[in-house]
Structure 1
Amino acid sequence: MDERLEAEGEVAVARLSIDGGDLRHAARHLGDALAADPRHPDAYAALAELAAAAGGHAAALELFADDAFTGSVACVAQLHAAAGQWEPALGALAAVLGAEPDRPWAVVSWLADPALPGRLSPAAVAQAVARLSRTLPDPLPPRLREPVRPFYSLVRAVTAAHPGDSLLHAMASTLARRFGDAADAVAWAERARQLEPGHAQAVVLGSALHAAGRSAEALAVWEAEIARDPSGVDLYVDVAELHGKTGRPAEGLVWLERALALEPDHPKAAPAGHALRHAVDGGTAHLLALSDHLRAHPDHGYAAHLLDGLCEDEPWLGHVHPAYEASVNVLHQMLARPGTARDHGIELLSSALEPPSTRLALTMGFPRATVDYQSVPSPDPRIPQYQVSTVLWEFHGPEGRAARPSVGAPSAEASELLRQVAALGWPSPGAAYDHAVRLAGLSAEDLLALCVHPPLPLEDEQGARLLGGQPEMWVRAVQVFACLGLAHHRADEPWPTSRRRALLVDLLFGPEDWTNEAAGFALLAIAWADPTTREDIGARLVDRLLHVGKAWRERDATILASLSRLVLACPWLPETFLSLAGEMLKAATDFHSRPAEDAAERQADIMAELDARRAPGAGAARVPKPRSLLNRLFGRAR
C-alpha cells in the first residue's frame, strides 16, 4: 500500500476513536500513521486534536507512556515540541532518528525554527547527539545523510552559539565525522580538548584526525592519553586497531597484550586480537578462533561485528560461492540481451555434461529453455564417489546425458518457508547454521526435494534482480539452506551415527553437482558451530576434494574451486591438506579466468607442477601423497 494512503487510513481511524472517546486507541493509530509516513501533515493535526481531547499535552503524553515503537516516539517528540518542551522533544527525536536514520523523521517544522538553537542548553544537545551517534554508521552512507541533515544543522547552530562548551564540541565532532566534514570534526575536537583536556576529548580528537587521514597524529594523541591515564582499556584497543589499519598489525598486537593484561575479559580486546592476527597470518584459523570466541561470549557484539566484516567478501565464509559452468555464462549473456523475455525459448548445446543443477538455473531464468550435451567426460561425473543411499538425480536419454530429479516436489509450506529463510550471504558459517534453525521442523524428504525443486525467489527487489541477472545464485542459495536445514534434522542424535550426518555425507559424495558444494558448506557450518565434529568433517571434505581434484587432471571439474575453499575453511586440518587446497584453488580459479583456448594447457601445466611436488624424489619439502596421508590420519576413507 502507498505510504500516504496508509497514513491517511490510520489518521481516519484515530479521529473516529477520538470522537468516540477511546484516546489510547487513537494514540496507537497516530503512531502507526507517522510510522507509515513521517511527514504526513494530517497526522500532526490529528495529534493536536488528541492533545486537546485529552485535556493537554501532558495527558496526551501519558497515552504513549512506555511505548518504544518508532511512530509513537515521534508522536512524543511532537507533543513535547508543541508544549514548548524543546529538550525532551529533541531527545525523543534523536531516539527515533537513531532507530531509523533512513526516514525523514527530522523533517519537522519545529526543528527548523531559527529560534530553536537559543532555546536549547548545550548539555541537552550534546546528550541528544550522543544518543543518536550510538546507532549511526561511521561514516554515514550518502543515502542517510539527507534524512539526518536537519538534526546536524541544528547541532552546528547550537555549537556556534556556545563556543565555550567542551562536551558539545566533542559530540558535534562525532557527528561531523560521520558526515565526512573532516575539517570541522578536527577543529571542534581540538577546541573541545583545549577547553577540557579529558579522556573523552582525546578519544574524539584521535578519531577525527584518523578520519581526516592524519593517522600518525591520531596515534600520538591516543598514546599520550594512555601515558597520562593508563586505565582506559578501550583506548588500547583503538590504538591497536589503528596500527592494523595503517599496515602494522604486529605492532597493534603489542597494545592488545597490554590491554588484556589489564582486563583479560575485555569484550573488545580479545576479538580485536583475533582480527589483527588474521591480518598478520591470513588463512582462516583466526577467523575460526573469532567465531569460537563469539560462541563462548554471545554478548560480545564487537566480535560479531569484526567477524562479519572479515567474512563478508569471502566465498563460503560470507556468501554463496559463484558457479563456473559454461551454461551459466551463456545464461548471463542471454539475460543481458535487451528485450529477452523469460518465456523466450532457448536451446543450448554443450560439448560436455555439466552438473545437473545447472539445468535448474537455466530453467529458472528461462522456463522454456532446454540443454543437450554432446558427450560425457571421463572420469564420469555421474558416478558417486562412494555407494550412497540418498540420490537426488537420475540420468536418462541418449547415453544418460539428461538429468531429472529422482525425488518428488516439496510441500508448498516447505517451499514458502525456505523462500523466507534462504539468503545469498551471512555473517559467518556459524551464523548461517544458526539462521537455518527455522528450517529444523521440515522433514528430511522436503529438504531433499527443495535441493532439486527450488522455489522462485520472493517477489521483491532482490528477487527480481536474481531472476533477471543471476538465477543460478538463488538456486545455489536454496540448496545451501536446504542442506543447512538437514544440518538441524534430528539434532539430538549423536553426530557420528546421526541421520543428518548420513544425509549430508551422501550428498557430498554423490554425482558431481552443486548439491555436493551445498552439503559441504552445511558440514562446514556444523563444524564451525560444534568443535567435536571438526576432525570428522574435515576428513570428509578433504576426501571429496582429492577425488574431484583427481578427476580434474583429465577434465574440467567446475566445483573444484568451491571444494578447495571449503577445505581451506577447516584450519584444524594438517598443513599438507591446506597447502594442497590452496594450490588447487589457485589452479581452478586461474583455469576458469583464462580464455578457453589456453585453459586446458594451463590445467596440464599446473597439475604437472603438483605432481612434481609430490614425486618421491622431490626432496624433504614435498607434499606427502594425499590419499595415504588421509587414511593414516583419519582411518577409513569415508
Structure 2
Amino acid sequence: MGLARVLAHCGGSPAAAVHYLAGAIASAPENPEPYTVLAELWRDKPSELAEVVRDADSLRTVLAQSYIGFLQGDMDTAALAIGSVTGVRPDIPWTKAPWFGDGRFLDVVSADALAEAAMRTMDHGHELDTDSTRERFRPWFEAIDIVSARRASPDALAKMAILLRACGLTDESLALCDQADSVERVMLTEVVRAGTWRKLGDSEQTVAAFERALALDPANWSLHLDLADVHAEQGDFASAVRLIDQGMTYGPAELSLRAAGAAYRARLTGSPADLGELIELTPSLPNDSYRSLLIDFACAGPDLPAELIAEARRVQDS
C-alpha cells in the first residue's frame, strides 16, 4: 500500500499504482484502504486513470474499472466488471468490497446489469456448488434479493436464478423463477426451471418445464433438442426422435440437432446408416462430453455391425 501511495501521488505512474492497489484488494477485498487510495488517484488524475482502465486487458485493470465505475456513478459498469473478475477468480471474495454492499450501488444498479454480471461469474466453468463458494458469494445473493424486489424483467430474474442454481441454492432458484412468472411468463424462465429440476434429478418436472418453454416458443429448435435429450436419458427414444424431427423443421442445418437425431434413430432402430451419419458428424461437435454421450446411446442400438460400433468408439476416444 505504501508503494501504491507513492506511485499514485509522487511517482507519476497511475498504471503501476493500479497494479499494486489491485493486488492489495485481491489480498483483502473488504479492506477500505486500497479503495480510498484509488479514489484519491481518480480525483487527482482522472484522465490518466481513465486511460489505464480503458484497456481492460488484465484482471487487475478490470478490478480497478469496477470501482471507478462506482465512483463515476456508473453502477451497471461496476457490476459487469466485478462479475467478470469473479468469473476468473471465484476463489476470492471480491464482493466483500465495501462499495458492493453500499446503498448507492444496490439502489441504482439495474436488474439487467446485475443479471448479466451474475452470468459472468460462471463464464469460466468453475465449480460453485460448495460451502466455501456460497460463503464468498453471499454478497451476490444479498444483492439479488434487493434488486429482484423491484419489478425486474423476467429474463433478468431468470438469469439471476441460474447463478443461485449453480451455487446449489435450488429452492431459491425455483422461487426466483416463480417471481419471474408473476411479472410475465417467458421461455427463458421455464428453461432455467427445467435446468434446476434436472439438477435435482426430477425428470418429470424437467420435461414439464421444457414442454411449457416449447409452448411459449414453438419454433425454437434448441428447445426441441433439450427435450429430446431428456427423453433419451429416460430411455424414451421414440419421443426423442419425434422431437428431433420437429426441431429439424426449424433448424435443419444445426449440427447438434442432426447428430442427436442420428444417434437416437440408431439407438431406436439399429440403423447402420444413422450410426454412420453420427460418426461423420461427431468430430465437429464442440462439446466432447455430449459427443461421447451420443455415441454411447447410438452404439446400444439393436443388431448394429460390430465394425461400425468399433469405428464409433475410435471417434469417441480420439
Question: 1:236-255 to 2 correspondence within 5 Å?
Answer: 236-255=224-243
SS in structure 2 at match of 1:262: coil
Aligned residue number for residue 191 of structure 1: 179
SS in structure 2 at match of 1:101: coil
Change (3 A) 1:36 1:222: closer
Aligned residue number for residue 78 of structure 1: 67
Letter in 2 for 1:242: V
Question: 1:518-557 to 2 correspondence within 5 Å?
Answer: none
Letter in 1 for 2:251: E
Q: Which structure would you say has the larger RCO, counting Cα contacts within 8 Å and 6 or more residues apart?
A: 2
Deviations 1:401-458 (A, max 9, x none): xxxxxxxxxxxxxxxxxxxxxxxxxxxxxxxxxxxxxxxxxxxxxxxxxxxxxxxxxx
SS in structure 2 at match of 1:62: helix
Contact 2:29 2:93 in 1 (8 A): yes
Cα distance in 2, alignment partners of residues 23 and 51 from structure 1: 9
Cα distance in 1, alignment partners of residues 208 and 290 from structure 2: 25
Deviation at 1:294, TM superposition (A): 5.4
Contact 1:250 1:280 in 2 (8 A): yes
SS in structure 1 at match of 2:77: helix
Greater radius of gyration (CA): 1
Which structure has greater helix proportion?
2
Match of 2:290 among 281, 306, 327: 306
Aligned residue number for residue 53 of structure 2: 64
Aligned residue number for residue 41 of structure 2: 50
Cα distance in 2, alignment partners of residues 310 and 29 from structure 1: 49
Contact 1:189 1:208 in 2 (8 A): no
Aligned residue number for residue 37 of structure 1: 27
Aligned residue number for residue 14 of structure 2: 23
Letter in 1 for 2:87: G
Deviations 1:571-620 (A, max 9, x none): 489xxxxxxxxxxxxxxxxxxxxxxxxxxxxxxxxxxxxxxxxxxxxxxx
Match of 2:192 among 204, 207, 228: 204
Cα distance in 2, alignment partners of residues 45 and 186 from structure 1: 39
Match of 1:148 among 137, 149, 154: 137
Deviation at 1:38, TM superposition (A): 5.8
Letter in 1 for 2:146: A
Match of 1:174 among 140, 149, 162: 162
Deviation at 1:93, TM superposition (A): 0.6
Aligned residue number for residue 375 of structure 1: none
Deviates more, 1:78-87 or 1:11-20: 11-20
Contact 1:101 1:144 in 2 (8 A): yes
Change (3 A) 1:26 1:156: same
Question: 1:100-115 to 2 correspondence within 5 Å?
Answer: 100-113=89-102
How many aligned positions are there?
Answer: 300
Cα distance in 2, alignment partners of residues 53 and 135 from structure 1: 36
Cα distance in 2, alignment partners of residues 310 and 102 from structure 1: 34
Question: 1:394-543 to 2 correspondence within 5 Å?
Answer: none
Change (3 A) 1:28 1:228: closer
Cα distance in 2, alignment partners of residues 143 and 277 from structure 1: 44
Deviation at 1:196, TM superposition (A): 1.3
Deviation at 1:275, TM superposition (A): 6.6
Change (3 A) 1:228 1:28: closer
Contact 2:188 2:213 in 1 (8 A): no
Change (3 A) 1:169 1:40: closer
Q: CA RMSD in A?
A: 4.0
Aligned residue number for residue 220 of structure 1: 208
Contact 2:93 2:136 in 1 (8 A): yes
Cα distance in 1, alignment partners of residues 275 and 135 from structure 2: 36
Match of 1:233 among 204, 209, 221: 221
Answer yes or no: is 1:119 the counterpart of 2:108: yes
TM-score by length of 1: 0.40
Aligned residue number for residue 299 of structure 2: none
Change (3 A) 1:232 1:52: same
Letter in 2 for 1:108: A
Aligned residue number for residue 556 of structure 1: none
SS in structure 1 at match of 2:121: helix
Unaligned runs of 5+ in 1: 1-7, 312-538, 540-567, 574-638
Cα distance in 1, alignment partners of residues 177 and 130 from structure 2: 22
Change (3 A) 1:52 1:39: same
Aligned residue number for residue 358 of structure 1: none
Unaligned runs of 5+ in 2: 296-306
Task: Give identity over the alignment, percent.
Answer: 23
Cα distance in 1, alignment partners of residues 147 and 114 from structure 2: 8
SS in structure 1 at match of 2:144: helix
Deviation at 1:155, TM superposition (A): 0.8
Letter in 2 for 1:27: V
Deviations 1:13-63 (A, max 9, x none): 6734752313234334545x2586363845434423432441x3x652321
Question: 1:551-566 to 2 correspondence within 5 Å?
Answer: none
Match of 2:118 among 129, 154, 168: 129
Contact 2:96 2:139 in 1 (8 A): yes
The runs of at least 4 aligned residues of structure 1 exceeding 6 Å deviation read 277-282, 286-291, 308-311
Change (3 A) 1:267 1:102: farther
Deviations 1:197-239 (A, max 9, x none): 2222332233334344443233233224424532111111111
Deviation at 1:75, TM superposition (A): 1.0
Change (3 A) 1:261 1:79: same
Change (3 A) 1:122 1:215: same
Cα distance in 1, alignment partners of residues 260 and 128 from structure 2: 20
Contact 2:118 2:163 in 1 (8 A): yes
